[in-house]
Amino acid sequence: MQQKQKYIDSNPSEKRDNRLFAIVCVLVVAAVFSYGVMLESEKNKISGQLVITTEKIDANKPVKPYLPDISGITVEAVEKMAPPLIKGNIIYGSVTPYPEFNKFMKGGEARRLRLIQHRVKPLALIIAEGSYSWKMLYDEVHAFDPEGKIIDREGDIYTLRVPFLVSDGASLVISGDDIAELRLSMQANAYLANSGEFYIIRTKVIGWDEEKQAASSFINEDYYRPFIINWVGGKLYLAGSEFISLGYLKGKSYGISYSACISCAKVNPNKPAPTGIIVGNRFTDLYYGFYSYEAEDVAIVGNIYDNNVIYGIDPHDRSKRLIIAKNETYGTYTKHGIIISREVNDSWIFDNYSHDNIGSGIMLDRSSVNNVVANNIVEYNGQDGITFFESENNTTWGNVIRYNKKDGIRIRNSWNIKLYNDEIEANDGASIEVYSQDISDHKKRDLDLDHFTQRANAVVNGAKISTSGASVFKTKMAEYLKLTDVDIRAVTNFFPASFKYDRRLLRDNIGRDDVMIKIVNPDDIDVISEP
């Protein structure tokens, strides 16, 4: 009997097919492995291969930047500036002849005022000529308004119930000597406008809800609240006073504003920029604590900005030579404590305390150049300590930046940024981040108005850094980061762990004042270049 085979051999063609299949499998595995290696290589490349070079320099310390003398900017000095009193001309008449009202006679605000007054051409109170105290003004108005429909009085508390203007060539002093509190009626669409000379000294101004008999606290951005506007040609001086619950989201109606005026310029194109002094005041629950547009030489000194809605201090478009010093800004609900934005140039931000704001403590934004940020304390903010966005040629000096939720200092699309002698401690992000970024797809950015250059670099000299974040420095798509005499006071990564660089060279030279370390990411060289 024939024995059965234990195994059945495949035919030769089947063997060839199996061998071919095995070879294909090996090739596929090899390809996948190679692709994985390539991806890992690309990952390392993207993470950052840093080139570090050193250069001997003179061990001279950097020169402290110029800061203006503010010793003469006081409440007492503003009091002495007030002009002598001269009786002039008070008008209670149509807003139509006065270009200072034009901005507010459009849209919902104008419709509301017409309905309140039952007039197509609403009425306002105007100081057309003369130099008045509040008492002089009230006495003259009360003579033709005994029922208090324009200005109501209860003791030394007054309620204004119409739009109000100090016109070009006139002046008004609202002083605690005459008035304890000025209430601007929300229900009457009251507000204060100035194109003359206007002083508010040692008193209180409140946006007032007459129905609730309480301050007109912020409800939403479209809800009308009274405001103060200083137009072109105007000088507004606020000293030793308190301002509460003013402003909402309507152009020039933000709270306290210093602004150019298109309608006014058509009448007189030679008027000087709005200016003034804001010293020793408190601003609470304003939509913007301060806003400016093409203002010049405004001094904002020694004020408290607390619990304001969008910003504490927000100089804007082409304002220049501003002094922002010795202010405390905190509790801002939505954004930053102090921000300058869109060509706010040649200004000084120093000796401020900006803390516990939802956004950054201090921000320089949108082509704001040639500014000095010095000796500020910036802590416990929800974003960065100090931020530079699209703003070149700026300098810091001696700031204390600590306990912020993001970076200590963040620099985006900004170059020639010089950081001197700052103390940066325990921020959640990097101590200093420098990078460029394509922001052309930013939904809210008008690239014609707010152009940008994808370029960034910074010089750090004399910094003292302690960090609890992932790294001391972070850089991407930047021309360079230069370091001299940097004191690293905590054990942490110099750069994120995925970056490759000569740690020994960096460690051995970073604290020297006679060596400049230059850090470049060669992967970025093809998209940016150093001049």
- Hey, which residues are catalytic here? 316
As a whole number of angstroms, the distance between CA 138 and CA 144 comes to 10
Among 131, 193, 196, smallest CA distance to 163 is for: 193
Distance spanning both ends of the chain, measured CA to CA: 96
How far is 228 from 317, CA to CA, in rounded Å?
19
Sign for the CA dihedral angle at 203, 207, 212, 218 comes to negative
| Residues 252, 256, 262, 264, CA torsion sign | positive
Distance CA 466, CA 34 (A): 41
Q: What is the dihedral of CA 71, 75, 81, 84, to 10 degrees?
A: -160
Distance from the Cα of residue 416 to its chain's centroid:
20
The whole-angstrom separation of Cα 241 and Cα 110 is 30
**410: how many CB neighbours lie within 10 A of its CB?**
25
Residues 6 or more apart whose CB falls under 8 angstroms from that of 506 comprise 52, 494, 517, 519
Using DSSP, how many helices (H) and how many strands (E) does the chain show?
A: 6, 43
User: Residues 112, 114, 117, CA angle at the centre, nearest 5°?
Assistant: 110
SS3 at position 140:
helix
Strand 515-520 versus strand 51-56 pairing type: antiparallel
Please list, in sequence order, all residues whose beta carbon lies within 8 angstroms of the beta carbon of residue 307, skipping any fewer than 6 positions away.
284, 285, 330, 331, 332, 333
Kindly write down the DSSP assignment for every residue of 194-253, as one continuous string.
Answer: ESSEEEEESSEEEEEETTTTEE-----TTS----EEE-TT-EEEEES-EEES---SSTT-
